[in-house]
Structure 1
Amino acid sequence: MTVIIKSLAVFSFLLALSFTFTEATRFDITNKCSYAVWPASLPTGGGRQLNPGETWPLDIPAGTANARIWGRTNCNFDGSGRGHCGTGDCGGVLQCQLSGAPPTTLAEYSLNQPNNLDFYDISVIDGFNIPMEFSPTNGGCTSLRCPADKCPDAYLFPADNTKTKSCQSGTNYRIVFCP
């Protein structure tokens, strides 16, 4: 009887622990533009160059909040990762530690928030620089598109709180430049 009680206690502990930790969320960032894009991610991920047709798989920890991904254009970096971008520059470095300078089309998100929901949106409050699609890859949630400098799915001004969408935590996402 003691063995069964101890086994149930261990099982209950492991079950509770499994609900506490969720896996990372996968973001597949794809460049369908005819030119190179240097996506950047804050607070995790830094940045890198994506040539046309390339995808950058990025795993973001559950619970990451107030995060953003944006594309930079017309960049030139040296071997040490120092340089400059024409749009979206983040202090002259490849691995961003600061948000990009306007204009930037932003994919914004907060993962695994209250009620086990992810919240996401596209913002052009800081201006528009690259067409973008931000879509869940599973879960049947809403896809957002910003195909040109008139973006019906994007935040246009800070008080516009109707553009944020939600999806069940554990959903993976795709960001496509020039969809």
Structure 2
Amino acid sequence: MAFPAASSVHLVLLAAFTAGASAATFTIVNNCGFTVWPAAIPVGGGLQLNPGQTWTLNVPAGTSSCRIWGRTGCSFNGGSGSCQTGDCAGALSCTLSGKPPTTLAEFSIGGATDFYDISVIDGYNLAMDFSCSNGDALRCRDSGCPDAYHQPGDRKTHSCSGNNNYQVIFCP
């Protein structure tokens, strides 16, 4: 009966490790004069965000290679449809990256340090601000935005201490 004891030890260690980590809260705001369909992977999926509406998304610590982007020109019937920009295989709740062009908010929620950036490598479709509660505010108003990655190898990644909150604003 060594297995139950070993499993109990692993559960206690897992609980202790998880207690030290916390989620980051992302507030996603649509300041556009039109509906935006934000998407988020690997957590969040996607939804409809009318002008002036906000979506709050909790991202667990240890979540890496994340993306948030705004889809435009969408039409959905239930959970399927299409978007003119940022479409993710016709799904309302995305499980894969959107089809270019997409202005991307990219991030990894670590523990002691988080990393975040804006990318227009996959094209530009919406003005966006992306900020950490105690870090740099990144701004992207057009396809030439200086705060964004334009090609692989650009050095535009920013860091923020862990346990912070973030804000993504479309059409700031």
Q: Same fold (TM over 0.5)?
A: yes
Paired with 2:109 and 2:57, the residues of 1 have a C-alpha distance of: 14
Secondary structure at 2:109's aligned position in 1? strand
Match in the other structure for 2:170: 177
How many residues are matched? 160
| Equivalent position amino acid for 2:97 in 1 | S
Structure-to-structure mapping, 1:61-140, within 5 angstroms: 61-79=60-78, 81-112=79-110, 116-137=112-133, 139=134
Q: Which runs of 4+ in 1 moved over 4 A?
A: none
Match in the other structure for 1:24: 23
Alpha-carbon shift at residue 21 of structure 1 (Å): 3.1
Alpha-carbon shift at residue 159 of structure 1 (Å): 1.3
Residue deviations 1:71-95 (CA, integer Å, cap 9, x gap) = 000000002x110000000000100
Match in the other structure for 2:156: 163
Residue deviations 1:13-70 (CA, integer Å, cap 9, x gap) = 99x9277532211000000000100000000100000000000000001110011000
For residues 62 and 153 of structure 1, do their structure 2 counterparts lie closer, same or farther at Cα, with a shift above 3 Å needed?
same
Match in the other structure for 1:151: 145
Paired with 2:141 and 2:126, the residues of 1 have a C-alpha distance of: 8
State the TM-score, normalized to the length of structure 1.
0.85
Paired with 1:91 and 1:51, the residues of 2 have a C-alpha distance of: 22
State the TM-score, normalized to the length of structure 2.
0.89
Q: Cα RMSD (Å) of the superposition?
A: 1.7
Paired with 1:77 and 1:54, the residues of 2 have a C-alpha distance of: 18
Secondary structure at 1:96's aligned position in 2? coil
